[in-house]
Every structure is written in C-alpha cells, then in structure tokens.
Amino acid sequence: MPTLEKVKVTETQFTMNYVNELYESVKKRNPHEVEFHQAVKEVLESLIPVLEKHPHYIKQGILERMVEPERMISFRVPWVDDYGYVQVNRGYRVQFNSAIGPYKGGLRFHPTVNSSIIKFLGFEQIFKNSLTGQPIGGGKGGSDFNPKGKSNTEVMRFTQSFMTELCKYIGPDTDVPAGDIGVGAREIGYLFGQYKKIQGAFTAGVLTGKGLGYGGSIGRKEATGYGTVYFVEEMLKDKGLGFKESTVVISGSGNVSIYAMEKAIQLGATVVACSDSNGYIYDKRGIDLTTVKRLKEVEGKRISEYVDEHPSAEYTEGCKEIWSIPCDIALPCATQNEIDEHAAKLLVSNGVQAVGEGANMPSTLQAVDFFLENNVLFGPAKAANAGGVSVSALEMAQNSARLSWSFEEVDLKLQQIMKKIYQDSMTAAKEYSNPGNLVVGANIAGFIKVADAMVEQGVI
C-alpha cells in the first residue's frame, strides 16, 4: 500500500491510485475470475469518496480484507446416476464476511458454476445483506451440477452427497445457506433432510427457503420478486411514476421472475415478455401468468410451450433479443450479464424509464454506465433483489422464536425493508456527492456498516 508521505499527489488521486492498485492485485491473485473482478471493480470505484472522507479504512486494510474471503471451501461431490455409474461434481461454499452476522447466501446448481461465479455472488452478498438491516454476513455456494434432465432420485442422491460434505461447515450460528438458480423447494428439502440425519437433530435455522410444513416462512417464495417490484415502485414514486398502466419486460421464468411478474401485474402493469434459457415469449396483450406458473412450477416445461396454448403470443429462440421489446420498465431476473451495452442501448432507444435488477449482476458495467448516463432510473441488484435474503433472515428469526408470522405480516415487513433500503441508498448517494445514483448509494450504505463492525472487532 502506498503511503501518503511517499506519494505527492492530491487526496483524490491518492485514493484513486490506491483503489486501482488494489483492483490490479485482486486480478492478479484471482486470475481468470472475470465475474469476481467485475463485482469488485464496481464496489471499489463507488467507495472512492468514502475512503477520502474516512482514510482510517485504508490504514485498517478494510478493503484488502473484504476482497479476500474468510474461507473458500471446494469439495468433491460423488453420486450414482440412474444407470449405476458414478458421477463427480464440484461443490463450493465461500464464507466471505462474518462481521455483522453468520454467513448467509444461496446455493446455485448450474453447469456454469465455478469459483469466479461463487465469489462474485458471495462478495455482492456482503453488501446486500448489510443493506437489509438484518444481522447477516455474506456467503454463497453451489455446484456445477446440472439438475436439468436429471430424475428426481438423481437430484436427491446428488443433493445428499453435497450436504454430506457441506454440513461440516454450516450451522444456524455459523453459515445459513438458501436457494438460488437450480435450488428450489425440492432441493432445500433434500438438503435439510440430509443435514438432520447427519446431525441427529432438527435444526430449523440451518437453511432458509424451507417448506412451510417444517419451518419455512410464508412469503419467502414471493420475496425476491415482490421485493424487486417494491423497490422499483419507490424509484418510480419519486418521479411521479408507477407500475399502473406501464409495459414491463421481465427475463427468466424462475422463482424471481414469476413473483416479479405477479406483483407487477397486481400493481396494474402489463407484462409483455418473459424467457427461459432457450428463448422468450412476447404477447403485447399481456402474458398469462397462470399458464407460466403451471408450465414452469408444476410441469417443468420450456417457455416455448406457452404459445401452444396462447396463439396470440410469439416465441423467439435465444434470449438476448428480449431487450429489443419496447417497454417502460425492464426487470432482468434470469442471470448475470444478460444485459450488455447493446441491450442497454436498445432499451434506452425504446424509451425505457426504469430498470430493476432482480437477478444478481444482470447488467454489465458498460450497460450500467449507459443507463446512468441516459437518466434511466436504475435499481442495482444488491438493493433491488435484497427482498429474498431479507425474508430469509425473517425465517431465521421465526425459527429461533419457534413461531410463524402470517403472509400479511411478512409482506408488510418486506415492504418496509425495501423502502428503507431505497432511502438508505439514496441518502448515502447524496451524502457522497452522487445524488440519485443508487449503484454508488447501495455500495456505500452496505459497506459502511460492515467496515465499522470490522474496525470495532480488530484485525481478525
């Protein structure tokens, strides 16, 4: 680290040099992990004004510590397929930061999972969890296992093997995983069952997203999608706008996407398009959510089959061009980097007013810059999709107290949390000379709480 005495430059240049050097060292120490680099770059650049105002964070090495996970576990997951052959996948858990609470973050089962994906997600989770105002640290995990095309028993055998190793590192006061892409109610059930069998105890607080019959929170399934819409509603309200009579495009047709559609429709919007990893459907009269839910949640079918039942809708193979559909509000709810600069330009030229990130890091850095330069209201993932982990924390609270809240109670708390995240992010953006920039605001508001806790806890 350069010292102020040695480097004869202005304070701002010093801080920028410091941040650049740190970013270069992250790239060097984590070669080829491009998604992780992307997530770190965005946060570091946002923090320059904070470091200028509070240089003790530099002396305390807070950023150097934050970009290095407290622990990164990778393990072999052997399992037997339906033909009797042994298959091997790789499992991961990154325990990134426990300054303000036990590690908390989902598990992703998808063939694209690698250490870069897990680390970018875990790093983002630190700030997101801090923003929720709940006592939860940052973690994430998963495997390159592809649940698609696997039988139920194959998924169960894989999941049990995964938990047989993971159980050594998690617990209600240490690390509390949940779902993410490819990990829904079925997988959480198998994970919980295996943990219970190994521990010989019913430890409800070890996982969230559980079934309602064994300790899950009502409203968790809806939380991320609803929360994203609540957050975007706050952004729109400030400009005298709303979901009512707006046209909305939502990518994906999984957990986040379906409940973002549901809430947007409830608020009077017309959702004209959604997708899966093969392609997208478009119906200018509005997508029928009941059909999407049945196809995706019950029958496990492809979104292309929607048009068989709704001839007025069109299906297009490939996902990218979904962003060429004119809309007032775009909610990317599928996966990382699904909106690149080209897609951002299409959205802006078609008059998009607001973008709310339901997925994690769905916009590239260039796309984010383009939205901000063109005065599009932009809700970054850390803030906009924090509703899921917020209700997970509420699930932990209910498990500890051995009680259950009603849907109305949980939904009201979710709305209050999303409103507070919006306000805290706006306040931080204004305080650090970037009024209205929620990317900067969310990063700063999330960072300060964790950084202060780290300072108070000493060099550990």
Q: Which residues bind ligand NDP (CB under 6 A)?
A: 179-182, 224, 252-257, 276-278, 319, 333-335, 358-360, 385, 388
| 82 vs 86: CA distance, rounded Å | 10
Nearer to ligand NDP, 233 or 395 (CB): 395
Give the chain's end-to-end CA distance (angstroms, integer). 19
Q: DSSP class of residue 136?
A: -
Examine the residue annotation and report whether 301 is marked as an active-site residue of this protein. Answer: no
Q: Which residue has the CB atom at the shortest distance from ligand NDP?
A: 254
Nearer to ligand NDP, 15 or 316 (CB): 316
Nearer to ligand NDP, 141 or 252 (CB): 252
Give the nearest distance from C-beta 233 to ligand NDP in angstroms: 18
Tokens of 83: 């033909």
Helix then strand then coil, in percent of the chain rounded to 5, is 50, 15, 35
Nearer to ligand NDP, 111 or 268 (CB): 111
Nearer to ligand NDP, 30 or 277 (CB): 277
Give the nearest distance from C-beta 257 to ligand NDP in angstroms: 6
| Of 439, 386, 449, 438, nearest in space to 413 by CA | 386
Nearer to ligand NDP, 47 or 183 (CB): 183
3 state SS of 293: helix
Name residue, tokens 């946002």: 46
Q: Are 336 and 360 in contact (CB under 8 A)?
A: yes
Residues 6+ apart with CB under 8 A from 82: 151, 153, 154
Single-letter residue type at 239: K
Give the nearest distance from C-beta 390 to ligand NDP in angstroms: 10
Name residue, tokens 């775009």: 330
Q: Give Cα separations from 301 to 27, 148, 254, 407 (angstroms).
A: 40, 11, 11, 29
CA dihedral 46, 51, 56, 57 (to 10 degrees): 10
Nearer to ligand NDP, 139 or 254 (CB): 254
Nearer to ligand NDP, 186 or 419 (CB): 186
CA dihedral 449, 454, 457, 460 (to 10 degrees): 160
Single-letter residue type at 80: V
Residues 6+ apart with CB under 8 A from 266: none
Give the nearest distance from C-beta 112 to ligand NDP in angstroms: 6
Q: Which residues pair with 315 in a beta bridge?
A: 281
Tokens of 336: 């990382």
- Tallying the residues shown for the chain, one arrives at 460
Element (H, E) at 443: helix 438-456
Q: Which of 104, 128, 140, 382 is catalytic?
A: 140
Question: Could you write out the DSSP letters of every residue in 335-385?
Answer: -TT-B-HHHHHHHHHTT--EEE--SSS-B-HHHHHHHHHTT-EEE-HHHHT
Nearer to ligand NDP, 175 or 276 (CB): 276
| Of 113, 104, 136, 120, nearest in space to 43 by CA | 120
Look at strands 247-250 and 270-275 and give their pairing: parallel
Name residue, tokens 């983002």: 124
Give the nearest distance from C-beta 283 to ligand NDP in angstroms: 17
Active-site annotation, residues: 140
